[in-house]
Amino acid sequence: MQHFVFINRSDDAPVTHLARARRLRVGVLRGSPNLAQLQRHDFSEGRIVQASSVEDMLKLLERSHVDAIYGGELVCLDKARSTGRGLAGLRVGLRLESGDVWLAGSSGFSDADRLRLEDSHRALLRDGSIERLFRSYGIRPKLEDLR
């Protein structure tokens, strides 16, 4: 499950209420569903700044061009971590929406990547996660079809 949240600077007041969030300038990733999510919650387009990458969203936040960014919590925090930003400087606030996460690969996957994916798949089969997921969609798969 991916959670879509507001993230702001840790020295600013946390974004904990929708009414407060609507008054902020918020950065979102261009081409993502995040703009539509905010619009569904009555955010003014004039308060939304679209960025071409999560890295650019973080830069907008660091340079105070936006008061908060809105996006996938894990994606935003992983980008902050992988680019050497201290997570202590960020504050995760209000969760506005959540959604399922799907994984796909291409011919560029290495054999090691494929093996890790297969191992993870087997672990999900063993603990019943895949069966529970299918059941949540009203599908009754035969386990042999999933192997």
Pairing of strands 68-72, 2-9: antiparallel
145 within 8 A of 130, measured Cβ to Cβ: no
The percentage of the chain sitting over the pLDDT mark of 90, rounded to a whole number, equals 65
Q: How buried is 15 (Cβ within 10 angstroms: 0-12 exposed, 13-18 middle, 19+ buried)? A: buried
Tell which phi-psi region holds residue 141, choosing left (phi > 0), alpha (psi between -120 and 50) or beta.
beta
Q: In sequence order, which residues have a C-beta less than 8 Å from that of residue 113 and are 6 or more positions away?
A: 105
Q: What is the pLDDT of residues 57-103, one digit of tens each?
A: 999 999 999 999 999 999 999 999 999 998 999 999 999 999 887 77
DSSP summary character for residue 87:
G
Looking at residue 142, its pLDDT comes to: 62
Average pLDDT, the chain: 90
Query: For the chain, where do the domains classified as CATH 3.40.190.10 start and end?
Result: 2-99
E strand spans, 15-99: 26-29, 48-51, 68-72, 90-99
Q: Using one digit for the tens of pLDDT, what is the confidence trace for 25-59? A: 999 999 999 999 999 999 999 999 999 999 999 99
For the segment(s) 2-99, the CATH number from 3.40.50.300, 3.40.190.10, 3.40.1380.10, 2.20.25.90 is 3.40.190.10
What pLDDT band is residue 131 in, cutting at 50, 70 and 90? confident
Q: What was the pLDDT predicted at 113?
A: 87
pTM of the prediction?
Answer: 0.73
Q: What is the pLDDT, as a whole number, of residue 19?
A: 97
pLDDT at 134: 74
Residue-wise pLDDT for 134-145, tens only, equals: 777 677 766 555
**pLDDT value for 124:** 87
Report the distance separating Cα 105 and Cα 64, nearest Å. 36
